[in-house]
């Protein structure tokens, strides 16, 4: 299946003028996949106003023929940065300084034809990738639905007495059995005080009763990622603080969801959740951004965070909304949905309940 | 568990003189892990004749305290390339041009103190990593033993009528259930004509009887990888060509194993297998190198190949020996062991039989 469309190279070509470039070299494999549909491990594209060139090596010629639109000229090159592309370069050529290594760049610089000016241009394709088309949303929706099934399976099997590691492995197996390529990141299963670490690594220790367990996971299906977090109770005997923090995080999450729509800035949405959590004196216990884009990569643009500019969200952005409160030495709560930004209320791709759920 | 030892930073310091460097900045995370034992997602080291500095951000300060030897000075810095390290730089400072991106380098170049000369020095740590110490060999041995169990499990469950994809997923599950972090690469299960593609992706098609199936997989355990290939028969009804090619590849593999020892060049070992396969007119059906180093990375130095210099192998290298013959449109055979280079015969870490085995 290719999700790429002929129009993507045109979108890139349109960006060239804005950046005062004649051509753009695209060689990061995720960007190449988005632009051309190609899923192999070696391929690059060179796009100009009147040029759409795709180059891969002998191993992938057939695959490229099947995946890359015919609007691209197909060429066969070496495994390293290809001469086939280099000899077609002219004018101001943008290259991906965010991903290209110094050694690759030095080789490229020595090889380009006279008159070519190499211009750092990382992020051009990423900016376009941030707005998903209908087929991409459908792919992410399918990955999220698959993850929902695995969340349901985990709740069914129970948590108390199993180790965090066992639960994480079961989740990965659940993803693979259902056809996912794998998890979109190493699943987080963090119980009790360990839940206060936002990026906790699952431990070989049994999960106790009457505490909270943060479960954060997603899968990759047809190249697209999903991402979801739920925090479960492992008994009715939670402390009052646990219950009130859960309630606070849920209110913050719902308020942020209400704020997410095209035209609102990513920093503003973060502020909605952050201010609410801050109003109960827990601002310093919410030590990460509210959310991030998800697509071919698990972390991509746009960001919902205080550390980015307040650039307006656009319809077709797919972002997580995941406030958390972490009480050091005690417990943590994080609640995360994956949503599609629209001109109105966002479409929520995660269907698993957010009410505090007891899983024994 | 940390496998790093205090002596590794000394080994790096010894390399500085050879390269005419005053300091080396190590920021590739695999190199950082080798050098310091640190397994987090952000950390770097700066090593000079009288300096061993390790920097990570606030998330990993505790973890670094537990993992990184006390001989390192510990500092806390930002998530980006750290000022803490930059302000300690002086003289000719080697940086990892193979892994550092152009954007990272440009930021570094603007930030270094006056008088610092940045010198491309990719590969210094990789060269040291190629020679494993006893604890590393033990870690790889354990990963290989775990993979052997999964090979046995696959043979037990049978192949005929199951899809390549099912078998690959089962292997990944087998790795995870036994405590591996995951597969060291996406398992290859390639039956019939598909076996003629050295990097075949498992398909959703049932494996047929009376053909050959290439199974190439390994796992990651405590950070170290394993890698093994076996080619199974799915019935007694193989063609004569299949049997003779299997026999040829096995003879080539055994001959190459005989040649592997400290002091012999990687290209020479490749030639032993290649010449034998060539003597039966199938040189052009062996379209990849004979082997590669394995350690914290699944592909590392040294290489056994015609495309490298004939640098002598060293005791403590851990390499694959994996000749293959690929008959387009018909079938493929590859047989691979993971071995430790010694001054005498190599220690073979793969124990699963190499006799042609029928798995129905």
Beta carbons of A259 and A298 less than 8 angstroms apart: no
Q: Is residue B80 domain-shared with residue B153, that is, in the same domain?
A: no
Q: Which residues of B touch A176 (CB under 8 A)?
A: 169, 172-173
Q: Is residue A34 domain-shared with residue A58, that is, in the same domain?
A: yes
A contact residues 49-108, partner B, Cβ 8 Å cutoff: 59, 95, 97-103, 105-106
pLDDT over 60 at A1, yes or no: no
Question: Smallest Cβ distance to B122: which of A59, A103, A105?
Answer: A103
Q: What is the pLDDT of residue A77?
A: 87
Question: Smallest Cβ distance to B173: which of A120, A173, A199?
Answer: A173
pLDDT over 60 at A293, yes or no: yes
Q: Annotate A4-30 with DSSP letters as a single string.
A: --THHHHHHHHHHHHTT-SEEEE-SHH
Mean pLDDT is lowest, of A3-7, A56-60, A182-186, A207-211, for: A3-7
Q: Annotate B340-359 with DSSP letters as a single string.
A: E--SSSPEE---S--S--B-
- For residue B108, count CB atoms less than 10 angstroms from its CB and return exposed for 0-12, middle for 13-18, buried for 19 or more: buried
Q: Is residue B38 domain-shared with residue B105, that is, in the same domain?
A: yes
Residue A196: closest C-alpha in chain B: B59
Residue B187: closest C-alpha in chain A: A181
Beta bridge partners of residue B224, listed in sequence order: B221
B1, part of any domain: no
Question: Smallest Cβ distance to B102: which of A120, A176, A182?
Answer: A120
Q: Tens digits of per-residue pLDDT, A14-53? A: 999 999 999 999 999 999 999 999 999 899 999 999 999 9
Find which of B1, B102, B179 to mutate to test the A interface (most A CBs within 10 Å of its CB).
B102
Q: How far are the Cα atoms of A143, B86, B93, B344 from residue B315, in angstroms, in the given order?
A: 47, 37, 30, 9
A358, part of any domain: no
B242, part of any domain: yes
A340, part of any domain: yes
Q: Is residue A88 domain-shared with residue A145, that is, in the same domain?
A: no
CA distance A8 to chain B (A): 25
Q: What is the pLDDT of residue A83?
A: 87
Q: Is residue A200 domain-shared with residue A260, that is, in the same domain?
A: yes
CATH for A47: 3.40.350.10
A-B C-beta contacts closer than 8 Å: 54
Q: Is residue A160 domain-shared with residue A31, that is, in the same domain?
A: no
Question: Smallest Cβ distance to A100: which of B101, B172, B177?
Answer: B101
Question: Smallest Cβ distance to B102: which of A105, A172, A199?
Answer: A105
pLDDT over 50 at B1, yes or no: no
Q: Tens digits of per-residue pLDDT, A82-128? A: 888 999 999 999 999 999 999 999 999 999 999 999 999 999 999 99
Question: Smallest Cβ distance to A199: which of B59, B95, B199?
Answer: B59
pLDDT over 90 at B60, yes or no: no
Instruction: Report percent pLDDT > 90 for chain A.
Output: 91
- For residue A6, count CB atoms less than 10 angstroms from its CB and return exposed for 0-12, middle for 13-18, buried for 19 or more: exposed
Tokens of A295: 């697509």
pLDDT over 80 at A2, yes or no: no
CA distance B342 to chain A (A): 33
Q: Which residues of A touch B99 (CB under 8 A)?
A: 101
Pairwise CB contact (< 8 Å): A101 & B98: yes
Q: Residue A72's domain spans which residues?
A: 7-129
Q: How many domains does chain B have?
A: 2
Tokens of A249: 């995080």
A contact residues 202-241, partner B, Cβ 8 Å cutoff: none
Q: Which residues of B touch A177 (CB under 8 A)?
A: 169, 173
A354, part of any domain: no
The H helix count followed by the E strand count for chain A is 10, 19
pLDDT over 70 at B3, yes or no: no
Backbone φ, ψ for residue A302 (5° rounding):
-85, 165
Q: What is the dihedral of CA B272, B273, B278, B281, to 10 degrees?
A: 150
Domain endpoint, select from B92, B109, B129: B129
Q: Tens digits of per-residue pLDDT, B245-260? A: 999 999 999 999 999 9
Tokens of A85: 């592309």
Q: Annotate A325-352 with b (16+ C-beta within 10 A) or e (fewer).
A: bbbeebbbbbbbbbbbbbeeebeebbeb
Q: Which residues of A touch B95 (CB under 8 A)?
A: 102
Cα angle B245-B251-B253, degrees, rounded to a multiple of 5? 100
Find which of B101, B168, B184, B188 to mutate to test the A interface (most A CBs within 10 Å of its CB).
B101
Q: Is residue B114 domain-shared with residue B259, that is, in the same domain?
A: no
Question: Smallest Cβ distance to A101: which of B59, B101, B106?
Answer: B101
Average pLDDT value for chain B: 95
pLDDT over 60 at A239, yes or no: yes
Give the integer Cα–Cα distance in Å for B137 and B131.
10
Q: Is residue A154 domain-shared with residue A75, that is, in the same domain?
A: no
CA distance A351 to chain B (A): 27
Pairwise CB contact (< 8 Å): A102 & B103: no
pLDDT over 90 at A142, yes or no: yes
Pairwise CB contact (< 8 Å): B97 & A101: yes
Residue A96: closest C-alpha in chain B: B102
CATH for B199: 3.90.230.10
Question: Smallest Cβ distance to A59: which of B101, B102, B199?
Answer: B199
State the pLDDT confidence band at A3, using cuts at 50, 70 and 90.
low
Q: Tens digits of per-residue pLDDT, B125-152? A: 999 999 999 999 999 999 999 999 999 9
A118 touches chain B (CB under 8 A): no
Instruction: Report percent pLDDT > 90 for chain B.
Output: 91
Residue A169: closest C-alpha in chain B: B176
Pairwise CB contact (< 8 Å): B102 & A101: yes
Q: Is residue A250 domain-shared with residue A277, that is, in the same domain?
A: yes
Asked, as a colleague might, if the bond just before A331 is cis with ω within 30 of 0, I would say no
A357, part of any domain: no
Q: Tens digits of per-residue pLDDT, B69-103? A: 999 999 998 767 788 899 999 999 999 999 999 99
Q: What is the pLDDT of residue B4?
A: 61
Domain endpoint, select from B129, B146, B178: B129
Q: Is residue A86 domain-shared with residue A173, that is, in the same domain?
A: no
How many C-beta atoms lie closer than 10 Å to residue A313's C-beta? Answer: 25
Q: Is residue A161 domain-shared with residue A222, that is, in the same domain?
A: yes
Domain endpoint, select from B94, B112, B129: B129
B17, part of any domain: yes
In the 8-state DSSP scheme, what is residue A123? T
Give the neighbor-by-neighbor strand order of the sheet with A300-304.
A300-304, A291-293, A318-321, A337-340, A347-348
pLDDT over 70 at B298, yes or no: yes
B152, part of any domain: yes
B171 touches chain A (CB under 8 A): no
pLDDT over 70 at B302, yes or no: yes
Q: What is the pLDDT of residue B78?
A: 78
Q: Is residue A22 domain-shared with residue A150, that is, in the same domain?
A: no
Beta carbons of A96 and A126 less than 8 angstroms apart: no
């Amino acid at each position: 299946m290719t999700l790429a469309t002929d129009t993507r190279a045109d979108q890139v070509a349109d960006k060239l003028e804005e950046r005062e470039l004649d051509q753009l070299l695209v060689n990061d494999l995720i960007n190449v996949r988005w632009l051309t549909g190609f899923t192999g491990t070696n391929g690059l594209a060179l796009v100009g106003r009147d040029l759409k060139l795709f180059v891969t090596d002998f191993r992938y010629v057939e695959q490229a023929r099947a995946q890359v639109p015919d609007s691209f000229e197909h060429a066969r090159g070496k495994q390293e940065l290809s001469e086939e592309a280099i000899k077609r370069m002219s004018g101001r050529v943008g290259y991906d300084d965010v991903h290209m290594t110094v050694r690759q760049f030095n080789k490229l610089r020595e090889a380009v034809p006279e008159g070519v000016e190499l211009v750092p241009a990382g992020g051009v394709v990423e900016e376009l990738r941030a707005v998903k088309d209908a087929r991409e949303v459908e792919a992410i929706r399918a990955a999220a639905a698959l993850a929902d099934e695995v969340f349901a399976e985990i709740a069914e099997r129970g948590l108390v007495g199993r180790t965090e590691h066992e639960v994480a492995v079961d989740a990965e197996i659940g993803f693979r059995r259902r056809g996912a390529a794998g998890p979109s990141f190493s699943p987080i299963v963090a119980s009790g005080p360990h839940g206060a670490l936002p990026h906790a690594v699952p431990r070989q220790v049994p999960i106790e009763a009457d505490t909270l367990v943060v479960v954060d996971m997603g899968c990759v299906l047809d190249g697209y990622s999903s991402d979801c977090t739920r925090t479960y109770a492992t008994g009715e005997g939670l402390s009052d603080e646990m219950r009130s923090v859960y309630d606070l995080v849920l209110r913050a999450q719902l308020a942020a969801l209400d704020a997410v729509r095209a035209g609102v800035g990513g920093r503003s949405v973060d502020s909605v959740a952050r201010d609410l959590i801050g109003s109960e004196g827990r601002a310093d216990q919410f030590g990460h951004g509210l959310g991030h884009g998800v697509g071919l990569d698990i972390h991509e643009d746009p960001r919902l965070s205080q550390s980015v500019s307040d650039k307006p969200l656009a319809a077709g952005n797919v972002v997580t909304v995941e406030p958390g409160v972490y009480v050091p030495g005690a417990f943590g709560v994080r609640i995360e949905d994956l949503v599609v930004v629209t001109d109105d209320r966002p479409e929520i791709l995660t269907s698993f309940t957010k009410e505090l759920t007891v899983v024994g």
